[in-house]
């Protein structure tokens, strides 16, 4: 059985944000990869795009985006996710 990617849904994200003021800034954090697990903060530009996913042994999350320009992996049956950048 193939592994399924799980993440927050649009409805869950909107619910999580509903108590914030309209001018509150939103960012996300990820582990920098050092021995102290420093959390680095990433800006969001507000761009949203749909992408196909593939499993990846090289990613800490176990997932990577398919780059159809450099790969023949693009497939209509692949899992898709919306990336907010």
Q: From the CA atom positions of the chain, what is the Rg in Å?
A: 15
Domain that holds residue 69: 44-85
Q: Classify residue 79: in a domain, yes or no.
A: yes
pLDDT on residue 32: 85
Token duo for residue 35? 């021995």
Q: pLDDT tens, 37-70?
A: 999 999 999 999 999 998 889 888 899 998 877 6
pLDDT on residue 2: 65
pLDDT on residue 60: 83
Q: Classify residue 67: in a domain, yes or no.
A: yes
Q: Classify residue 66: in a domain, yes or no.
A: yes
Nearest to 83 by CA among 38, 39, 53: 53
How many separate domains does the chain show? 1
Tell me the whole-structure pTM to 2 decimals. Answer: 0.73
Instruction: Give the bridge partners for 30, in sequence order.
Output: 40
Name the DSSP class of 38. Answer: P
pLDDT on residue 59: 86
Q: Classify residue 15: in a domain, yes or no.
A: no
């Amino acid at each position: 059985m193939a592994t399924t990617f799980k993440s927050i849904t649009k409805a869950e994200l909107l619910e999580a944000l509903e108590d914030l003021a309209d001018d509150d800034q939103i960012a996300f954090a990820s582990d920098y990869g050092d021995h102290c697990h420093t959390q680095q903060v990433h800006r969001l530009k507000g761009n949203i795009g749909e992408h196909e996913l593939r499993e990846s042994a090289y990613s800490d999350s176990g997932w990577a985006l398919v780059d159809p320009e450099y790969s023949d992996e693009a497939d209509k049956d692949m899992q898709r996710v919306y990336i907010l950048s």
